[in-house]
């Protein structure tokens, strides 16, 4: 039977497609499991997330170096990192319908989710996507699409040290795509095969591991708050010895109450010196006058899961008269569109001309501004509410005489009349 959580996911997925946030990948050819395409509003939301991350973790700091490494990486990287041997998930096959599943996602262990048949013995399935480089089909040419952006950071550790001579502690940051051949991609953009990650590898002296772990823990929580995530749905879970990734000495997962259960949103790992040791990379500690292998604290986030968690945090419904209104109460800084500008009537050239001037002024100031003259004003408000636009600005006949406009608030529906010249400051104040 359908429950409210299923219905909520259906509403979010349908809103995403209808309004241009997220579309199924390769849709006109029947789709491709585990891939999704972001439309204009999804791109804007992702950019706002990435801008906020970059501001907090890179540009506002003096100890962070951002890289943009290649997605295709030499196979040797993944042998050294342990991914060739251990980046696996348990795969089971139904003995009846032959469908394959990730064992730990089965509703009932040993029973096929689809036909109820018995599933066979689990075998370890490597989740890395490989491909061949060049024209010759031999094993020497096998390369992997990175399954985590982290290794693109580690392989550039020496380059950053040689170019910038940073003192410990310092971090290297990266935003980029990673690829995982998930056995059962599911739950919309929660478990996908093509992922966008935002990762920091923070290099420290071993003695500072506990202090640094606590520091990054706090940074993650404050970032979640700054984005406007529903903090009542945000939980911390310490990952036990048997459940941590192969490289981790200590992990805290930050989980979110998705409609399909409490699941990982971010991870914070203490990777020790695992990666730098395996890549045979060292650092000359000028203070101690010795060569050391720094240890690493890694806050790691997935952009796609954040998009979903932010949509769920923002989704709201209320009733206005007979009608149920759905809206996304994004923080203004996260909203894909900051404000929409409309002439009250689109067949009145004098209103359109004035509205175009206001639109131009706001567009050059904020960029994320939409022109909307479709349908009546009520319909425009509903449409903007549904995509989470905090303010709608309408140019009417009074504007022509006194240069004032109405500005409507998404959450309360209330309207104010303010001078056109005050608009930029009004929005700027509320954006920050
Ligand atoms: N470098 C560490 C690392 O990759 P992870 O926990 O495997 O750690 C980090 O991944 C983050 O990437 C996760 O917290 C999640 O947000 C995101 N992520 C991982 N696999 C994903 C998938 N299949 N689909 C969407 N996001 C994923």
Tens digit of pLDDT per residue, the chain (432 long)?
A: 357 888 999 999 999 999 999 999 999 999 999 999 999 999 999 999 999 999 999 999 999 999 999 999 998 999 999 999 999 989 999 999 999 898 988 889 999 999 999 999 999 999 999 998 887 766 667 889 999 999 999 999 999 999 999 999 999 999 999 999 999 899 999 999 999 999 999 999 999 999 999 999 999 999 999 999 999 999 999 999 999 999 999 999 999 999 999 999 999 999 999 999 999 999 998 877 899 999 999 999 999 999 999 999 999 999 878 889 999 999 999 999 999 999 999 999 999 999 999 999 999 999 999 999 999 999 999 999 999 999 999 999 999 999 999 999 999 999 999 999 999 999 999 998
Q: Is 210 in the same domain as 290?
A: yes
Q: Is 291 in the same domain as 347?
A: no
Stated pTM of the model = 0.94
Q: Whose CA is nearest to atom 16 of ligand 1?
A: 302
Distance 371 CA to ligand 1 centre (A): 37
Pocket test for ligand 1, best of 69, 184, 197 (most atoms within 8 A of CB): 197
Measured from the CB, is residue 153 less than 6 Å from ligand 1? no
Q: Which residues pair with 36 in a beta bridge?
A: 24
Residue 134 has what pLDDT? 80
Distance 304 CA to ligand 1 centre (A): 9
Measured from the CB, is residue 266 less than 6 Å from ligand 1? yes
Tell me if 104 is assigned to some domain. no
Q: Which residues pair with 299 in a beta bridge?
A: 268
Q: Is 302 in the same domain as 353?
A: no
Q: Is 57 in the same domain as 158?
A: yes
Measured from the CB, is residue 355 less than 6 Å from ligand 1? no
Distance 302 CA to ligand 1 centre (A): 6
Tell me if 137 is assigned to some domain. no
Query: Domain boundary at 312, 345, 365, which?
Result: 312
Q: Whose CA is nearest to atom 21 of ligand 1?
A: 191
Tell me if 402 is assigned to some domain. yes
CATH code: domain of residue 349: 3.40.50.800
Q: Is 229 in the same domain as 362?
A: no
Q: Whose CA is nearest to atom 19 of ligand 1?
A: 302
Tell me if 391 is assigned to some domain. yes
Measured from the CB, is residue 195 less than 6 Å from ligand 1? yes
Measured from the CB, is residue 186 less than 6 Å from ligand 1? no
Measured from the CB, is residue 199 less than 6 Å from ligand 1? yes
Distance 183 CA to ligand 1 centre (A): 15
Measured from the CB, is residue 176 less than 6 Å from ligand 1? no
Tell me if 78 is assigned to some domain. no
* Alpha carbons 410 and 314: distance in angstroms, whole number: 12
Of 291, 254, 250, whose CA–CA distance to 272 is shortest? Answer: 250
Measured from the CB, is residue 146 less than 6 Å from ligand 1? no
Domain with 173, as residue range(s), is: 4-71+148-312
Contact (Cβ atoms closer than 8 angstroms) between residue 312 and residue 208: no
Q: Is 193 in the same domain as 268?
A: yes
Tell me if 308 is assigned to some domain. yes
Q: What is the CA radius of gyration of the chain?
A: 25
Of 265, 311, 234, whose CA–CA distance to 42 is shortest? Answer: 311
Distance 388 CA to ligand 1 centre (A): 27
Q: Is 247 in the same domain as 350?
A: no
* Alpha carbons 238 and 255: distance in angstroms, whole number: 10
* Alpha carbons 330 and 410: distance in angstroms, whole number: 10
* Alpha carbons 420 and 402: distance in angstroms, whole number: 9
Q: Is 302 in the same domain as 356?
A: no
CATH code: domain of residue 18: 3.30.930.10
Residue 286 has what pLDDT? 81
Contact (Cβ atoms closer than 8 angstroms) between residue 149 and residue 75: no
Q: Is 396 in the same domain as 254?
A: no
Measured from the CB, is residue 148 less than 6 Å from ligand 1? yes
Query: Domain boundary at 312, 347, 375, which?
Result: 312
Number of domains in the chain: 2
Residues 6+ apart with CB under 8 A from 116: none
Q: Whose CA is nearest to atom 20 of ligand 1?
A: 191
Residue 132 has what pLDDT? 87
Query: Domain boundary at 279, 312, 345, which?
Result: 312
CA atoms within 13 A on the CB side of 284: 5
Q: Whose CA is nearest to atom 25 of ligand 1?
A: 191
Tell me if 251 is assigned to some domain. yes
In this structure, what are the phi and psi dihedrals at residue 414, rounded to the nearest 5 degrees?
Answer: -80, 155
Q: Is 66 in the same domain as 201?
A: yes
Measured from the CB, is residue 191 less than 6 Å from ligand 1? yes
Tell me if 77 is assigned to some domain. no
Greatest C-alpha distance within the chain: 78
Q: Is 397 in the same domain as 253?
A: no
* Alpha carbons 391 and 327: distance in angstroms, whole number: 12
pLDDT, tens digit, for every residue of 223-238?
Answer: 999 999 999 999 999 9
Residue 140 has what pLDDT? 63
216 burial type by CB count under 10 A (0-12 exposed, 13-18 middle, 19+ buried): buried
Q: Is 398 in the same domain as 360?
A: yes
Count of all residues that appear for the chain in the document: 432
């Amino acid at each position: 039977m359908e429950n409210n959580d299923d219905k909520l996911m259906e509403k979010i997925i349908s809103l995403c497609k209808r309004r241009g946030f997220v579309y199924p990948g390769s849709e006109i050819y029947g789709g491709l499991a585990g891939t999704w395409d972001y439309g204009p509003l999804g791109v804007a939301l992702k950019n706002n997330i990435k801008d906020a991350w970059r501001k907090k973790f890179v540009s506002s700091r003096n100890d962070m170096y951002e890289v943009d490494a290649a997605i295709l990486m030499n196979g040797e990287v993944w042998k050294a990192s342990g991914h060739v041997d251990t980046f696996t998930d348990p795969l089971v096959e139904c003995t009846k319908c032959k469908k394959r599943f990730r064992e730990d996602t089965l509703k009932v262990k040993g029973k096929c989710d689809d036909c109820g048949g018995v599933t066979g013995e689990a075998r370890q399935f490597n989740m890395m996507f490989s491909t061949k480089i060049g024209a010759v089909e031999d094993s020497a040419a096998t390369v992997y699409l990175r399954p985590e952006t982290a290794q693109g950071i580690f392989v550039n550790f020496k380059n950053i040290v040689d170019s910038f001579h940073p003192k410990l502690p310092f971090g290297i940051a990266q935003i980029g795509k990673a690829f995982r051949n998930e056995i059962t991609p599911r739950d919309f953009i929660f478990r996908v095969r093509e992922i966008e990650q935002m990762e920091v590898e923070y290099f420290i002296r071993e003695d500072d591991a506990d202090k640094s772990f606590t520091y990054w823990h706090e940074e993650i929580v404050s970032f979640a708050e700054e984005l406007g995530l529903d903090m009542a749905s945000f939980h911390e879970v310490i990952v036990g010895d048997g459940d941590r990734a192969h490289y981790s000495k200590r992990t805290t997962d930050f989980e979110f109450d998705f409609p399909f259960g409490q699941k990982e949103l971010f991870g914070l790992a203490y990777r020790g010196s695992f990666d730098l040791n395996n890549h045979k990379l060292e650092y000359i500690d000028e203070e101690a006058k010795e060569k050391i292998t720094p240890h690493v604290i890694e806050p790691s986030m997935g952009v796609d899961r954040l998009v979903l968690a932010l949509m769920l945090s923002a989704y709201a419904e209320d009733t206005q008269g007979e009608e149920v209104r759905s809206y996304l109460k994004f923080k203004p800084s996260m909203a894909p569109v900051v404000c929409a500008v409309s002439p009250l009537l689109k067949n009145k050239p004098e209103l359109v001309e004035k509205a175009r001037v206001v639109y131009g002024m706001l567009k050059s100031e904020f960029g994320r501004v939409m022109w909307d003259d479709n349908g009546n004003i009520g319909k425009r408000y509903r449409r903007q509410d549904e995509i989470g636009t905090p303010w709608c600005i309408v140019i009417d006949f009074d504007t022509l005489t006194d240069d004032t406009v109405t500005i409507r608030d998404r959450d309360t529906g209330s309207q104010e009349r303010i001078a056109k010249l005050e608009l930029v400051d009004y929005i700027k104040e509320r954006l920050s």
